[in-house]
């Protein structure tokens, strides 16, 4: 006779999904999310859907939405075990995009996906997301943690973020008021932000043992991983102080904003310019950091390739009427931004939409 035994019972946990770890993460992040609460939030974490009421101070609210990720910057986060700042990057990429329409970010949701959930790592990431929301003045009201065995290599994860903002219908920034002679202001970036990291990683690989110890007074890893600057509060204050009016005879104000993300200065500024106009930027009107100089030298690329790959030191562009440019720059500087007058708006003719010379 042969004996047989029952197969070992299978459970969700033996299949690779740890429900208890997920519950522990939720408890860890609840106080972090609570710190981001603001007017309009009607429900906290844990529900099937998050509830938010548009603040009653809006007369004709228009909702503006944005979504993004962190990209291959995450590969360095895994390699260097730096997980506490990529959440700021995640928030920044969406809230800065929403800001470009003149909108105030209201709430944010995140999506964290991994093969096996490490609660400490996930909590560090979400801590960064909560910090980013605080910096942007928006609420972290929901999200999703997906543990999917076999989908990601051990120690790796992916992030996506979703932001909704609001703007008065009459104050939407479309760029249609941009005209010849307007001034282009550049707000300094904090570093590479979250774009161009496929090339950054190649530069690090090429440098090998010849990597510089420091760049811009920081250890190399810290300089490279500096989180994306969040411009929301300072730029919203400048928009309130220097609004643009189409009425004849009224002083001009801020007419357009451009978030300098993938595609750099050359690809992003044209997105907010009317047909027939170009931005003529003055080379050297803003400083090149040691980080960007090192990237350019290591990659062996020209200025044009730098300006269409990286933000190259300018993370947000503000197009403002010439008669309001000095006052607008002063407002932004007083709030803590590094501001440079980097060019003017001119007729495009048969040239490029952005010229750096």
Does the CA dihedral 290-296-298-302 come out positive or negative? Answer: negative
Q: What percent of the chain stands above pLDDT 90? A: 81
In the predicted model, is pLDDT for residue 44 greater than 80? no
Phi first, then psi: what are they for 66, rounded to 5°?
A: -150, 150
Q: What is the per-residue pLDDT for 251? A: 58
pLDDT digit string, tens, across residues 192-221: 999 999 999 999 999 999 999 999 999 999
> Which pTM value belongs to this model?
0.93
Angle at which helices 232-241 and 119-136 cross, to 10°: 10
The Cβ of residue 304 has, within 10 Å, a number of other Cβ atoms equal to 12
When pLDDT is averaged across residues 95-124 and rounded to a whole number, the result is: 96
Angle at which helices 86-99 and 232-241 cross, to 10°: 20
CA distance 272 to 268: 8
Closest CA to 188 of 135, 242, 229, 133: 229
In the predicted model, is pLDDT for residue 14 greater than 80? no
When pLDDT is averaged across residues 243-265 and rounded to a whole number, the result is: 83
When pLDDT is averaged across residues 258-262 and rounded to a whole number, the result is: 97
- Residue in the structure block whose two tokens are 């995640």: 90
Mean pLDDT of the chain: 92
CA distance 33 to 125: 12
Angle at which helices 119-136 and 19-34 cross, to 10°: 20
Secondary structure of the chain in HEC code, one letter for each residue:
CCCCCCCCCCCCCCCCCCHHHHHHHHHHHHHHHHCCCCCCECCCCCCCCCCECCCCCCCCEEEEEEEEECCCHHHHHHHHCCCCCHHHHHHHHHHHHHHCCCCEEEEEEEEEEECCCCHHHHHHHHHHHHHHHHHHCCEEEEEEEEECCCCCCCCCEEEEEEEEEEEEHHHCCCCCCCCCCCEEEEEECCCCCCCCHHHHHHHHHHHHHHCCCEECCEEHHHHHHCCCCCCHHHHHHHHHHCECCCCCCCCCCEEEEEECCCCHHHHHHHHHCCCCEEEEECCCCCCCCHHHHHHHHHHCCCHHHHHCCCCCCEEEEEEECHHHHHHHHHHHHHHCCCEEEEEEEEECCCCCCEEEC
When pLDDT is averaged across residues 260-289 and rounded to a whole number, the result is: 95
Domains of the chain: 19-171 (3.30.1330.10), 183-356 (3.90.650.10)
Q: What is the per-residue pLDDT for 278? A: 95
When pLDDT is averaged across residues 34-62 and rounded to a whole number, the result is: 89
pLDDT digit string, tens, across residues 143-162: 999 999 999 999 999 999 99
In the predicted model, is pLDDT for residue 15 greater than 80? no
Query: Where is pLDDT greater, at 121 or 8?
Result: 121
pLDDT digit string, tens, across residues 316-338: 999 999 999 999 999 999 999 99
pLDDT digit string, tens, across residues 71-84: 999 999 999 999 99
Q: How far apart are the first and last CA of the chain?
A: 90
Q: What percent of the chain stands above pLDDT 70? A: 95
pLDDT digit string, tens, across residues 20-29: 777 888 888 8
């Amino acid at each position: 006779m042969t004996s047989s035994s029952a197969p070992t019972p299978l459970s969700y946990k033996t299949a690779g999904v740890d429900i208890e770890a997920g519950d522990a993460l939720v408890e860890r992040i609840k106080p972090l999310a609570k710190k981001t609460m603001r007017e309009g939030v009607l429900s906290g974490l844990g529900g099937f859907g998050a509830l938010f009421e548009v603040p009653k101070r809006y007369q004709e609210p228009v909702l503006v939405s944005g979504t993004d990720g962190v990209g291959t910057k995450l590969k360095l986060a895994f390699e260097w075990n730096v997980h506490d700042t990529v959440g700021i990057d995640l928030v920044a990429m969406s809230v800065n995009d929403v800001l470009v329409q003149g909108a105030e970010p209201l709430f944010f949701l995140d999506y964290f996906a991994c093969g096996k959930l490490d609660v400490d790592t996930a909590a560090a990431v979400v801590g960064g997301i909560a910090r980013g929301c605080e910096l942007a003045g928006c609420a972290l009201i929901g999200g999703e943690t997906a543990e999917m065995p076999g989908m990601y290599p051990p120690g790796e994860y992916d992030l996506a973020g979703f932001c909704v903002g609001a703007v008065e219908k009459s104050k939407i920034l479309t760029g249609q008021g941009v005209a010849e002679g307007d001034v282009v202001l550049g707000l300094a970036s904090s570093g590479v932000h979250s774009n161009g990291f496929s090339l950054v990683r190649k530069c690090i690989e090429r440098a090998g043992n010849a990597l510089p110890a420091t760049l811009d007074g920081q250890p190399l890893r810290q300089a490279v991983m500096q989180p994306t600057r969040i411009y929301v509060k300072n730029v919203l204050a400048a928009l309130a102080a220097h609004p643009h009016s189409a009425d004849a005879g009224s002083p001009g104000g801020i007419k357009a904003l451009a978030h300098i993300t993938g595609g750099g200065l050359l690809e992003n500024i044209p997105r907010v310019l009317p047909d027939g106009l170009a931005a003529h930027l003055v080379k050297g009107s803003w400083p090149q950091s040691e980080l960007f100089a090192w990237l350019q030298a290591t990659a062996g690329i020209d200025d044009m390739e730098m300006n269409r790959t990286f933000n190259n030191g300018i993370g947000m562009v503000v197009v403002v009427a010439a008669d309001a440019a000095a006052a607008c720059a002063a407002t932004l500087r007083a709030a803590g931004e590094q501001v440079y007058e980097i060019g003017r708006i001119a007729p495009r003719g048969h040239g490029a939409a952005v010229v750096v010379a």
